[in-house]
Every structure is written in structure tokens, then in C-alpha cells.
Chains A and B, each alone.
Chain A
């Protein structure tokens, strides 16, 4: 599968003319705002929000890949400066000469400057009763002040995804088995509500079961990616989306969710050519074990095979040759503490050959953060539930991101939101 191509606005990869400073080069006036993203930044997460809103105001900016932790550069603008101050984001006023100097540094090192054009339209797929604090991405969007619409099955099935450029999947179970919590949390009000909502949606849309409904939704999401969409998913949404796609014609759902037992030969019958990320997966047949398959390396809810947490490492890409993965891994930390989710990681052996690994745990068979293309779009999967709550459980208090303003794990999430804003240009290799 070919890589997504970026078409250059002008010849230089450092994007010297990509923005219009409106001043003579060489002037000593501080006509630029640099939003540093290294350790001096006081609020890394809100820096993305400041940048996003700047783009919404149709102001140009550049993403300086690998330069001081992936900083942002924009022509001076008083609204941008005010927004940064209100958000607690550190900014530096710099001169044309300093900009020239940093461009020279970018040219000479494994760095690049990517023009950011337009804030993407963002949608979060989540059930109507989901509070923003249930999901790391919505928490990050809320905290950074990035606007998004919440959509669910009805909007997806009615073709509503075409209104958006970037889609995040709340930790949904696209196999329709309610994250396999059906037995463990039987009687819990939140689970009853989830079952009621999904059943009502299934009936209103004429599907025979919730798993059938979710398969149809998964298919629409795949079509969205194929038509230039940017998909970002975390936790169980990553694994179950692909399982639902591969099992379009096979019953992989437990009896409690669709009335009949899972096909005993499901693993052999599913068609992995239909999935986006995973291949040759063995499904979990027990309805009592809250695990879907052997995609996840950690199996947090399966005590006999559960693996402990360590740290994962971000892959270092060549910024000028691989700008896309480079954007997705911009960070001020190289090693990041791992965190559990219903799907925590991805077994390397289950990845399709053309999947790009963005972060991995050294010395283990699993990886943490992956990226790939489908049709004209891209998808990115990030294992785990909440980067700042390594063992989040149902009912735990929500994470307050104002206490984690420099979270490297949350930065990886927010890289994905700005990534669609990057101007397309030809890949050099």
C-alpha cells in the first residue's frame, strides 16, 4: 500500500515561504511567535489547542518536526498571544533573524517544517450518555479547547461521517458484546443503560442483533477512512473495529449478545483481507473472559496470561523522508510509562506487513502505537485507556488534565488531531 503523499507548497521543505510574515527578512523586530514544545513548555496539551484555534482563525503556522520537541511557529498575532497567555502556554517572541537561524538548524538536522493549513473538522464517536471524562481523547480535546461533535450509530449509518475530516472512536466494542463486561458487571446500572441504548438503536435501524448493527457501523467507518478520512482509535475500539470488519460474515459474538453462540470455527472463517491493521488473529471463545483475541499482548482482564506494565519507546523517524509518522510521534520524551486498557498493546505477529510501528516496548513481542493507510485515508491505533491513569477501572474518578499539563502520553493523542492540518506535499523518496 502506498504511503499518503504530501504535496509541497513550494520547493523548500523547511517551508520558508509557507507563511506570510509581512515583514522584511533580516528585520530585528520580533515578528514571530514560537510555541516551544520541549521541557520549557508549561502546558504541552493546551499548546495544541492554541495552535488549533489559530488555524481556525485561518492564520498560518508551521509544525517544526523534531525541533525542540516538535514546536510550532507562527507569525506574530495578538490574538494568538492572548490565547496562549489565557491558556497558560509558554510562547517566545522571536525575530526574523532567529527564524532564519532555526530554519538553518532544521535544514542541517533530522528536522523538518510542515506548514499547517486548516483546522480539521473533528468528530468523536461515542454513545449519547458518555461523559467527556470517560475517554482520554475527549478529555484531551476538552482540556485543550478543541471543538468537536459527538456522533453515534445513527449519524454514522446516515452518512454523517462525510461532514468530518478526523474521527476518534470512543472505547467502543464493535463486536457488539458490551466489552464482554456482560457477565462480570451484570446488574450494574451503567451496563443496563448501555444494553438498552444499543438494543433500541438496533431495533430502530432494523438490525437483527447488536453485533450486526456494530458490524454495519464498522463498515461505514472503514469507508470513511478509504475516502480520505483520518481515524484515531484507542483501547478496545482498535481491536474490535478490525475484528468486526474481518468477521463480516462470521458470528464472533457470544450468545448473550445475539442469541446464538459464537461460531466454534470463527478464527478459521474470518477474512483478514477485510481488516485494516491485523492478520491471522486467534479469537477468544470464552464469553466469561473479558478479552477478544490474541491481538492484545497484555490481556489485562485475563489473569493467567496478564502481562505487567513497563515503558514504551517512541520510534525515531526521518523527519524529511517520513513526515507523517514523524508528526505522530512528536514529543519531549522518548520513553513513556505504559498504561492498561481493555486492549493495551498489539502483538507484533498479528500486524499486517504494511503497518508502521510508532512506539513499542523493547524486548517484548508487542507494540503500543501503530499507523497505516487504507484507501486514500489513514488510521492510527493507540493501545490503552488513559495515559495518566495506568490502571483505570470502571467507576474510578476522572483524570484532571490540569494536573498533567506535560503528559507525553496525551501529547501522542493530540499529535493526531493536528496531523490532518498539515499541508500535503510530495514525499521525497
Chain B
């Protein structure tokens, strides 16, 4: 009974639909389609087309719903009728091509395309849509043939973009670049799309792609694509040089291109990226006026400061009239960068002077960072008192960390421990944090308040003299008790020697460390480093045996996963990374 009622209701609904005006029928058809009731939607689309044979929304709707209900053939009847009434309609021609492709009738598809071409011999549209319909069936070779044919017959570059995209899909990067170059010459606005499309070029083809794009005249807009690709492929300075050469004269167009380049290189790291960003920002500053220009110049100064190019940064800053009472965040940031560059380059006195003038206008975070930077700069010049003085009143965790290292450089183990503990585990990079924690662990087992040799060893290490540092540490170890950190200091020295490539010394020190405390806290790491030294010296069997020993003897050590991974790499059980 229920089924009968439902049948009657559906019947009423359909009868009702028959009487609806065409517009309402379309709205109802869309709604049915949206709810996945494709059969009913198809019926309404067909009804609409009977009264309005050239209704594009109805034709498109019927095309959409015909696929899920497997009635693609039915679209063709309405398409043919529509074309009889509106043979010039390109949209209907496109639907016809797609419908033949969906019906898996290549001969009819080709014939329909040729009919369209015969009507519009000068237009690239029929070739474009024909190739698209063919490519949807996965036949990319045929699609390429059609587009090439279209290019020959139409006689211009209007299909180059599509050809380029097809070559990208098939991995023919150089051909793709050649067609993108054509497309960009015809329409420079295609440059960003071309760069995006070619960005996935595999590394071996990148130089050839750049050559294909940069082979034209100096003002060839295809070089814009090459410049952007160089920026994406981590060659920002090469990219800038090329961009600078072909930048259009129209300021509005040039500004758009420059801003795009700045954003692209901002994602990269390193001084080359910062420098190329600085060049582009300086050019933006030259092309603009007022606060836009000033901000761009400040940003450029900051970029050059980041790149370590202090002279250019200072030159740019000197071009800006800074109101001493009103300082924008970007001006303050630029100045902070400059002071940081001065400190890092050893001009600490000058940096301190500039800092004194500006400290009340700098951001709070920058103030603390600059104090720490200047303290490290003094420490590197062996002026530990001046280093201490500049951060004496600073209670930030970065300052605590720096105070800890300065205390350690003086050999003051007790204060170093206190400061490192106060700094906690979160200061600095992951590497800095690990090094601090490692040092804290080492100092805690030494158990003596003052050990000047450790201080001079760490100072030597900080200045890059690992050999002296290892020697000092070894000498320190010999004066420590067996249970007073001797094994730990030897282990540390051995690992430093390993990192500096002195495998022989490293092995000797690490063996001593393991022999003194085979179950001690540093034994797993010493053994692991010992294994690496053996492997790096070409003694594979011994290295493997030592790695296995680490895993078996210290199963709960954090070193074990690293030991297992190294074993996997040696045995080629995992891909070589």
C-alpha cells in the first residue's frame, strides 16, 4: 500500500513539473541534481530542452547528470537539435564534443570537431575543446596531435598554453617550457601560471628549461618565467639578475612582478635569498612614493642586514628621515637588524652606541636579543667582563643561558649550573638547547665548583679550536675522580674529536670512557660514537659488532633507535637517505 501511495505521489510531482514554467523547472532540476536524484533531474532538464532547445543551463545540467545514470547518449539528441537552431553557439559545440567523447565514439567526435573547424577556420577554440575532450579519455598523444594541428592551421600561439600543459603532464619539461615561452610572449600575464606549472620540473632538466625560456631577446617576457623559476629553485640571486633585465617599464606592471618575486624569495632561507629580496624591495622603494616607499626601503635595509651586507643596509637607512619621536615598527626592526649585524661583525663598541641611542624605541624582544648578541660578541673577543656587564640587569631566559656560558668560560662550574638551570630547556634552537642540556649533565657529575680547564676548553671550542678543546678536556679528565665525571668528560672529548674527523683520537678517548664506566650514563652514546668512528674508518665488521653491542647491552637507551637505523643503512634494509 505504501509503495502505491509513493508511486501516486511521484506521479503527481511529475505531472506538476510538466506544467511548470521553464525557469522554475530548471530551479527544481538543479535542486534534484544537488540531492543526487539524477534520474528525476534528467527528466526535468529534458522537458526544459523540449520547450527551449538552446537552453545552455539545461544542456549542461543534462550532460552532468547523464554520467551517473549512464545515459550519456541521450545528451546527443538534444545537442544536435540545439545546433540546428544555433549553429554558431560555441558552448553547444563544446558540449557536443564532450558528449561524443563520453559516448566513446572517436569517429563522431572527430567529425563534429571538423564541422566546427569548417565554420570557424580561424578560431583556436575547436582545437582546444577537441583536444580537451580527447585528453579526458586519457589519450594525451592524440590531444597533442590535435593541438599541434590547430597551431599549424590557425598560425599563431593561441594554443601554446594548452600544448605546454600537456607536455607538463607527460613530463616533457623542455618542450613544455618552449610552449610556455610562446604563450607568455603572446600574453605576459601567463607568466605566473607558467612558473607554477614548470616549478615541478625535475632537477636534471632545470637548466635546460631555463635555457628554453631565456633564449629570446633581452626584453622577452618569457624571461620573467625563468626569473621566477630560479627563485623557486633556490637560485634567488640568479633570478633577480634575470628579472632586473626584463622588468617592464610600466610601473604598475613592474610593481606587481616585483611583489610576486619578493613573496617567492621570502619562503627561502639564507643570505642569497635575503639579498635578492633586498634588491627587489629597493626597486619597489624607487618606484613608489611616501610611506610606501619608506617602508619598502626599510624592509630592504633589514633584508640586506639579514644577508650580512651591512654597508648597503646602512646606506638605505641613511636615506630615510627618521622622526625621533615617532618610530614605526618597521623602522625599529630595521635598526635592530643593523645593530645585530654590527655586533656580529665585531664592531661591538659601535653597536653598543647605536643601541644606547635607540633602546627606548626598539621592540622589547629586540632589546633583549640585541643585549645577548652583544654579550656573545664581547665574549668572543675574550672581554668576559663587558659581556657580563651588558646583560647584568637582564633576567630573560636567553640572558640566563648566556650568563651560564660566560660563567663556564671562566671555569665557574657552580654558577654555570645555576644559570643553565634557570634558563631551562626552551632557549635557542634545538641544537643550542641540546648542547646546553648536555653541558649541564656533564657539569653536574664533575662535582667541583671551579675547573678552569673546562672553561678554557669550552672557550676554545666556542672559537672553533676543537683540537685545543679536546686536549684541555682530556687533561681535565685526568685530574677528576673516577666517580667524579672522568668517564663523562672523556666521552665528551671523544665525541668532539669524532665530530672534527679525528677518528683515531676519538676512538682512544671513547674506549677509555667506556672502560672506566661500562654501565655509566654516557656509555651507550660513547659506544655508539665509537661504532661510527670505526665505520667511518672503514672497519665495518667491528662497527656493526659495536652497534649490536649498544642495542643488546643498553636496550632502554635513547641511542638504540639511532643504532638500529645505522645498522639498517649499512645492511641496506632501508632506502639510503
Segment at the A interface, from B32-40, B135-143, B263-271, B401-409: B135-143
Segment at the A interface, from B79-87, B183-191, B233-241, B567-575: B567-575
Residue of B nearest to A49 (CB): B573
Interface centre among B140, B561, B568 (most CB of A within 10 A): B568
B110 shortest CB reach to chain A, Å = 15
Bound Cα distance from A185 to B140, whole angstroms: 11
Chain A residues with Cβ under 8 A from B319's Cβ?
none
A51 shortest CB reach to chain B, Å = 16
Q: How many A-B residue pairs have CB under 8 A?
A: 66
If A82-B552, A187-B172, A400-B577 touch, whether A288 touches B139 (CB-CB below 8 Å) is: yes
From B136, B571, B572, B575, A303 is in contact (CB under 8 Å) with B136
Bound Cα distance from A194 to B170, whole angstroms: 18
Chain A residues with Cβ under 8 A from B137's Cβ?
286, 289, 303-304
Residue of A nearest to B564 (CB): A88
A275 shortest CB reach to chain B, Å = 26
From B136, B140, B564, B571, A184 is in contact (CB under 8 Å) with B140
A355 proximal to B (CB < 8 A): no
From B138, B551, B564, A302 is in contact (CB under 8 Å) with B138
Whether B575 lies near A133 (C-beta < 8 A) is: yes
Whether B140 lies near A288 (C-beta < 8 A) is: yes
Whether A143 lies near B139 (C-beta < 8 A) is: no
Chain B residues with Cβ under 8 A from A186's Cβ?
170
From A142, A188, A289, B573 is in contact (CB under 8 Å) with A142
B335 proximal to A (CB < 8 A): no
A160 proximal to B (CB < 8 A): no
Bound Cα distance from A183 to B166, whole angstroms: 13
Residue of B nearest to A183 (CB): B141
A397 proximal to B (CB < 8 A): yes
Query: DSSP majority for the A interface?
Result: loop
A86 proximal to B (CB < 8 A): yes
Residue of B nearest to A301 (CB): B138
Chain A residues with Cβ under 8 A from B171's Cβ?
185, 188
Interface centre among A301, A304, A397 (most CB of B within 10 A): A304
Interface residues in B96-149 by Cβ distance below 8 A to A read 102, 136-142
Bound Cα distance from A191 to B98, whole angstroms: 32
B563 shortest CB reach to chain A, Å = 9
A197 proximal to B (CB < 8 A): no
Chain B contact-residue range equals: 20 to 34
Whether B575 lies near A398 (C-beta < 8 A) is: yes
Per-residue CB proximity of B507-538 to A under 8 Å, as 1/0?
00000000000000000000000000000000
Chain A residues with Cβ under 8 A from B555's Cβ?
85
B211 shortest CB reach to chain A, Å = 18
Per-residue CB proximity of A172-188 to B under 8 Å, as 1/0?
00000000000111111
Whether B575 lies near A400 (C-beta < 8 A) is: yes
Interface residues in A276-299 by Cβ distance below 8 A to B read 286, 288-290
Whether A86 lies near B136 (C-beta < 8 A) is: no
Residue of B nearest to A299 (CB): B138
B394 proximal to A (CB < 8 A): no
B565 proximal to A (CB < 8 A): yes
B324 proximal to A (CB < 8 A): no
Whether B564 lies near A289 (C-beta < 8 A) is: no
Bound Cα distance from A289 to B134, whole angstroms: 11
Bound Cα distance from A400 to B568, whole angstroms: 11
Residue of B nearest to A188 (CB): B171
If A184-B140, A184-B170, A303-B136 touch, whether A400 touches B574 (CB-CB below 8 Å) is: yes
Interface centre among B136, B139, B567, B575 (most CB of A within 10 A): B575
Whether B568 lies near A402 (C-beta < 8 A) is: yes
B201 shortest CB reach to chain A, Å = 12
Interface residues in B327-345 by Cβ distance below 8 A to A read none
Residue of B nearest to A131 (CB): B575
Residue of A nearest to B569 (CB): A402
Interface residues in A89-136 by Cβ distance below 8 A to B read 132-133
Bound Cα distance from A183 to B141, whole angstroms: 7
Whether A86 lies near B572 (C-beta < 8 A) is: no
Whether B141 lies near A303 (C-beta < 8 A) is: no
A401 proximal to B (CB < 8 A): yes
B431 proximal to A (CB < 8 A): no
A395 proximal to B (CB < 8 A): yes
Bound Cα distance from A304 to B138, whole angstroms: 8
A375 proximal to B (CB < 8 A): no
Chain A residues with Cβ under 8 A from B571's Cβ?
145
Chain B residues with Cβ under 8 A from A288's Cβ?
138-142
Residue of A nearest to B561 (CB): A88
Chain A residues with Cβ under 8 A from B172's Cβ?
187
Bound Cα distance from A68 to B568, whole angstroms: 28
B380 proximal to A (CB < 8 A): no
Bound Cα distance from A160 to B548, whole angstroms: 37
Chain A residues with Cβ under 8 A from B565's Cβ?
402
From B102, B138, B548, A289 is in contact (CB under 8 Å) with B138
Whether B552 lies near A85 (C-beta < 8 A) is: yes
Chain B residues with Cβ under 8 A from A301's Cβ?
138
Residue of B nearest to A141 (CB): B573
Chain A residues with Cβ under 8 A from B551's Cβ?
85-86
Residue of A nearest to B135 (CB): A303
Interface residues in A386-425 by Cβ distance below 8 A to B read 395, 397-402
B374 shortest CB reach to chain A, Å = 43
Residue of A nearest to B104 (CB): A304
Whether A142 lies near B572 (C-beta < 8 A) is: yes
From B136, B140, B141, B573, A145 is in contact (CB under 8 Å) with B573
Per-residue CB proximity of B535-569 to A under 8 Å, as 1/0?
00000000000001001100100001100110110
A185 shortest CB reach to chain B, Å = 7
Bound Cα distance from A82 to B575, whole angstroms: 24
A267 shortest CB reach to chain B, Å = 15
Whether B170 lies near A143 (C-beta < 8 A) is: no
Per-residue CB proximity of A185-220 to B under 8 Å, as 1/0?
111100000000000000000000000000000000
If A143-B574, A184-B170 touch, whether A395 touches B202 (CB-CB below 8 Å) is: yes
If A85-B551, A85-B552, A304-B102 touch, whether A289 touches B139 (CB-CB below 8 Å) is: yes
Interface residues in B464-491 by Cβ distance below 8 A to A read none
Chain B residues with Cβ under 8 A from A303's Cβ?
136-138
Residue of B nearest to A132 (CB): B572
Bound Cα distance from A143 to B575, whole angstroms: 9
A90 shortest CB reach to chain B, Å = 11
Bound Cα distance from A87 to B573, whole angstroms: 11
Bound Cα distance from A290 to B141, whole angstroms: 12
Residue of A nearest to B175 (CB): A187
Bound Cα distance from A301 to B102, whole angstroms: 16
Chain B residues with Cβ under 8 A from A185's Cβ?
170-171
A308 shortest CB reach to chain B, Å = 14
Residue of A nearest to B138 (CB): A289
Whether B574 lies near A402 (C-beta < 8 A) is: yes
Chain B residues with Cβ under 8 A from A402's Cβ?
564-565, 568, 573-574
B148 shortest CB reach to chain A, Å = 15
Bound Cα distance from A142 to B560, whole angstroms: 20
Chain A residues with Cβ under 8 A from B138's Cβ?
286, 288-290, 301-304
Residue of A nearest to B563 (CB): A86
Chain B residues with Cβ under 8 A from A82's Cβ?
552
Chain B residues with Cβ under 8 A from A133's Cβ?
575
A-B contact pairs, 29 of them (CB 8 A): A82-B552, A85-B551, A86-B551, A86-B552, A86-B567, A88-B561, A88-B564, A133-B575, A142-B572, A142-B573, A142-B574, A143-B568, A143-B573, A143-B574, A145-B573, A184-B170, A185-B171, A186-B170, A288-B138, A288-B141, A290-B138, A303-B136, A303-B137, A303-B138, A304-B136, A398-B575, A400-B574, A401-B574, A402-B573
**A residues within 8 Å of B by Cβ?**
82, 85-88, 132-133, 142-143, 145, 183-188, 286, 288-290, 301-304, 395, 397-402
Instruction: Name the 9 nearest CB pairs between A and B, nearest first.
Output: A398-B575, A288-B139, A289-B138, A133-B575, A402-B574, A183-B141, A400-B574, A143-B573, A142-B573
Q: A143-B574, A400-B577, A402-B565 are in contact. List 11 more A-B contacts (CB 8 A).
A: A85-B555, A86-B552, A88-B561, A133-B575, A142-B574, A145-B571, A290-B138, A303-B136, A303-B137, A304-B102, A398-B575
